[in-house]
Homo-oligomer: A and B are copies of this chain.
Amino acid sequence: MLEERRLEVLRAIVEDFVLSNEPVGSKTLAERHALGVSPATVRNDMSALEEEGYITQPHTSAGRIPTDKGYRLFVDRLSGVKPLSRAERKAIQSFLEGAVDLDDVVRRSVRLLAQLTRQVAVVQYPSLSISSVRHIEIVTLNPNRLLLVLITDTGRVEQRVVDIPAPVDDGVVGELRGLLNGSLRGRRIADATEAAADLPDTVRPDLRPYLTTLTTVVLEALLERQEERVALAGTANLTRASVDFADSLRFILEALEEQVVLLKLIGSARETGTVTVRIGRETDVDALRSTSVVATGYGLGPAALGGMGVVGPMRMDYPGTMAAVRAVAKYVGELLGAD
């Protein structure tokens, strides 16, 4: 009873603060939300909530604002996931449908997510390791140089220029192409690496040096760059909450330019099946200690193709943001799955 009302008070504080960005006091709280008790009672509850570390006051005799811990409780127990409107769902679908290729899907998703949430959006390019090899193409640039193009079933294309030990003619190139495709096509990339490593041992001796060089490059392309790239959009939205950050804005922007940091933020959400929220210091990135990250994986059930999410002020509309992230991830997953 008592416990319950306290939580209600916390919810009210979070919701009001998210809207107004101003410390919220007992009086306005009792007025605006039908709590059925007087400001004095609310004060007592707030005092208790502060004791327990869920809220704090920026300075004596100002209203209260939620702490990291307060937001955490709010997200875990007090908020559902606000469903999107029909119009929003429609918009997502039609916006993504126009995509012409994989890169375009990613770029569109990230812009879409930024617009929907009015925050900074991050989308990881689909990981190579989960998808499978669809085709390997070798193009002769000149007798000593080949261009290797690797196409996956998610439509991703990787390219590498390869210098080879001795000149080859087109016939040999054709053979090599056949061998590589024969042994790798249709394989998951995780498995393909093994097959590629064994390949040179099984063929005509004169082809071996070439094949060794080529498979090395293939492996390199598969392993080294997998999951490496992310797309970013909506940084302008950071200034929307500028009052909060102000001088930390620069460090936030710097952090967001580091691919490594972004991958850490959303890459890890990839494996969880649901939308995860990291609040303040939970992000484990110092520059982002005053922000929250809402992220999820997309595509192909439990072992996802990649992660996507948004970065915004701790003071954010969690239910709405979570809903948007979930919805976009779902549509993108379907889009890539159907491809």
* Contacts from A to B (Cβ < 8 Å): 100-102, 134-135, 137, 139, 141, 147, 149, 151, 155, 157, 159-161, 225, 233-236, 238-240, 242, 249-251, 253-254, 256-257, 339
The interface residues of chain B lying within 8 Å CB-to-CB of A151 are 139, 147, 149, 159
Beyond A240-B250, A257-B234, A257-B236, is A149–B161 a contact (Cβ under 8 Å)? Answer: no
Q: Is the interface of A mostly helix, strand, loop or mixed?
A: mixed
Report which of B141, B155, B159, B257 forms a contact with A235, defined as CB distance below 8 A: B257
**B155→A147 contact, CB < 8 A:** yes
* Copies of chain A in the complex: 2
List of B residues within 8 angstroms of A240 by Cβ: 250
Contacts of A159 in B (CB 8 A): 101-102, 151, 155, 157
Tell me the minimal C-beta distance from A265 to chain B in angstroms: 17
A–B complex contacts, Cβ < 8 Å, 16 sampled = A100-B160, A101-B161, A134-B139, A134-B147, A135-B137, A135-B139, A149-B149, A149-B151, A155-B159, A233-B257, A235-B235, A236-B250, A236-B251, A236-B256, A238-B253, A242-B250
Is A149 a contact of B137 with CB atoms below 8 Å? yes
